[in-house]
A = this chain, B = another copy of it.
Amino acid sequence: MKFTINRDLLLQNLSAVSKALSTKVQMPILTGIKIEVANNQLLLTASNNEISIQAKINDKRLLRVTEDGTIVAPGKYLIELVKKTDSKDIDFIGYEDNSIKILADKSDFTLKCLDKDNYPLISFDDSKVFITIDAANLKQIIRKSTFAASLSEARVILTGVSFQTNGNQMKVVATDSYRLSRKVLVFDHEYPEIKIVVPAKSLDELNKIIEEGEEIIEIHFSKTKALFKYKDLMYQTRLIDGTFPNTDSLIPTEFITSVKFNKNDLISAIERVSIFNSNEASDIVKLTLNADKTCEITSTSNEIGDAKEELNLLECSDSISLQIAFSSNYFLEALRSFNSTEIEIHFTGEIKPFIVTGEYDINLIQLILPVRAA
């Protein structure tokens, strides 16, 4: 193996595939990045069994291959080394003892490699049918959904985000059974039935790699895997096996009142009343709506004290008295998922789920289950 590559291009691609590097010692081979050089093309692959990422580099101005070959280099050290180097190009030369020479300016590294025969065979397979979506849109979907997925392995299916097509629509749902996020995407043509559950963690990692923009991403599906093709990257994640609960019936459609707030004012108020709860097990705050259309949020900590915030109602559909208690953190995460400046809360009762919508967040619903107020 022998090639010369542009340092910045290499670092950028190493950083991308490193998101799939395993930190677990159970499978040492997966702490390595597989480097394959053949046909004037360089492939970088990393995998942790959950996600696998492959980057392809074949720009002849930035890569000169002299001799083909394959190695598996310790990922962490390889990346650190390229990062700390400031030369324009870096030379890689296969070396005795399953090692690789890495030369950059006045630096001369010999890095011991892992046994490439131990590296698992990873296939990145296209499907016949795939969805296309632009980068900005996919990032929005991830940002609006994954936070609502469960962190507990007690019901593994809820640690994922459900994607389900129906004609020209796709429903994206995540829930930990105390709150729920639902976004419906409408395409300009019909897709065949897709019904998969993608691990929320995989989507969060994917989000770190994708840059804002109009770049088109292809999403390929199989029974057990989803493959996202983004630029010269292939990002593959395993799917969660099982049936995602049908959540449509949980989302109320009739309300006793709907109240409109400035989103940022509401977020700031909730953040402030939550300060005294910050060290406590419970993060419950109470929202009180009065018949005179005033509103306040309160919290009480026996140890620290009381907090009260008055809130401006921008609009209120029905004048009623209502007091509802909920997790401030769940509410904050839901609010932050909106792009709209103004959001609307739709109440169905004091101990019934309420939903949040935003004028400019089409087809997005965040639902929160209240708790019984003390």
Contact = CB atoms under 8 A, between A and B. Distances in A.
8 contacts: A80-B278, A81-B275, A84-B275, A108-B309, A109-B276, A109-B308, A110-B306, A112-B304
A370 to B, nearest CB: 23
B272 A307 contact: no
Nearest to A310: B106
Contacts of A271: 84
A272 B83 CA distance: 9
Nearest to A308: B108
Nearest to A278: B80
A111 interface: yes
Contact of A111 (B84, B110, B305): B305
A74 interface: yes
Contacts of A315: none
Given A77-B305, A109-B306, 8 more contacts: A77-B275, A84-B271, A84-B275, A85-B272, A107-B307, A107-B309, A109-B276, A112-B305
Closest 6 interchain pairs by CB? A106-B310, A108-B308, A111-B305, A110-B306, A110-B305, A112-B305
Given A80-B275, A84-B268, A106 B309 contact: yes
A337 B28 CA distance: 39
A117 to B, nearest CB: 20
A99 interface: yes
Interface residues of A, number: 31
B106 A307 contact: no
A194 interface: no
A115 B57 CA distance: 67
Nearest to A78: B275
B272 A81 contact: yes
Interface of A: 74, 77, 80-81, 84-86, 99, 106-112, 268-269, 271-272, 275-276, 278, 303-311
Given A81-B272, A84-B268, A268-B84, A308 B112 contact: no
Contacts of A107: 269, 272, 307-309
Given A84-B271, A99-B305, A271-B84, A77 B109 contact: no
A258 B240 CA distance: 65
A272 B85 CA distance: 7
A42 B311 CA distance: 31
A108 B77 contact: no
Nearest to A113: B305
Contacts of A112: 303-305
Contact of A74 (B109, B110, B272, B304): B304
Contacts of A80: 275, 278
A267 to B, nearest CB: 11
A315 B310 CA distance: 70
A74 B279 CA distance: 13
Contacts of A308: 107-109
Given A107-B307, A107-B309, A307-B109, A272 B84 contact: yes
